[in-house]
Amino acid sequence: MGLRNLDLVALWNHPVPPLSPRARLVLPVFLGSALFFLSFLILPASLAMILGGLMVAYYIPPSGKESLIPLGIVLGIPWWLMAFALAYLDVVTSLFMILNLDRAQRLPYLGPWISRSLASGHEFMEQRPWLARWRVPGVAFFVMLPLQGTGGVGATIVGIMAGLSPAEILLAVGIGATVECLFFALGSELIIRLLETHTTLGIAVIAAIVLVVILYFLVSRYWKRGAVV
């Protein structure tokens, strides 16, 4: 299946729950807030407040899973809860986009960001047409990429371009976000324990990870320049 035209994304007309415009805005916010209040049942109040702060920070660029999950674990939040919280937020954000895409495009700050995401997402998918053919697994893989813009907003846009239904988009976001969050959470937990028991080895592992990340970005920039030329 080919990609949808960018001009048609705003006219996306898959059936969604028959909710009023106000309910479409409030429902995702309510679902996101519910997790914060429920966290008081399983965490001390101080840690629940920290979790709430990290959940808010997740929506402030350039914060992402790769930084917030290790930070939350270091501050005392269980790794599984940090992983669940950010994966859950990706799904809730995707739901917000599904229910409010046209309205979101008209918002002062979110609208221009969505327009840029539309352009970059379309370019990303054109370079990898197999993602559209893979449908749900393809969009889930997109969410797993540790890059800016591959969360709930970007994945929803890519899912629409790939022709997925709302339920398929939410499924893809849920799968991709869960896998990515578990990767960062388990990796962070392992490194933290390694630092506690074998400090030198833990530092060596961190240095190796940083080196791999730097090499990845250098190679990516090299290939992008080659593609432009």
pLDDT digits (tens, 9 = 90+) for 135-182: 788 888 888 876 665 577 778 888 887 788 888 899 999 999 999 999
The domain segmentation of the chain, as residue ranges, is 6-197
- pLDDT, tens digit, 9 for 90 and up, residues 171-192: 999 999 999 999 999 988 888 8
Beta strand segments in the chain, E: none
Cα–Cα distance measured from residue 14 to residue 105, given in angstroms and rounded to the nearest whole number: 17
**Main-chain dihedrals φ then ψ at residue 82, nearest 5 degrees:** -60, -45
To the nearest 10°, report the CA torsion of 185, 73, 32, 113. Answer: -70
Spell out the residues 6+ positions from residue 54 whose beta carbon is closer than 8 angstroms to its own: 68, 71, 72, 77, 82, 85
**Main-chain dihedrals φ then ψ at residue 15, nearest 5 degrees:** -65, 135
Structure tokens given for 114: 């969505």
Beta strand segments in 41-192, E: none
Is residue 38 packed enough to be buried (19+ CB in 10 Å), middle (13-18) or exposed (0-12)?
A: exposed
**From the CB of residue 95, how many other CB atoms can be counted at a distance below 10 Å?**
23
Cα–Cα distance measured from residue 29 to residue 92, given in angstroms and rounded to the nearest whole number: 8
Cα–Cα distance measured from residue 83 to residue 73, given in angstroms and rounded to the nearest whole number: 10
191 contacts 202 by C-beta, under 8 angstroms: yes
**Main-chain dihedrals φ then ψ at residue 13, nearest 5 degrees:** -130, 35
- Tens-level pLDDT at each residue, the chain (229 residues): 455 554 445 445 556 667 777 888 889 999 999 999 999 999 999 999 999 999 999 988 778 888 899 999 999 999 999 999 999 999 998 998 888 877 777 777 777 777 776 666 666 667 767 666 777 888 888 888 766 655 777 788 888 877 888 888 999 999 999 999 999 999 888 888 888 888 887 788 778 877 876 776 677 666 555 544 4
Structure tokens given for 115: 């327009």
* pTM, full prediction: 0.79
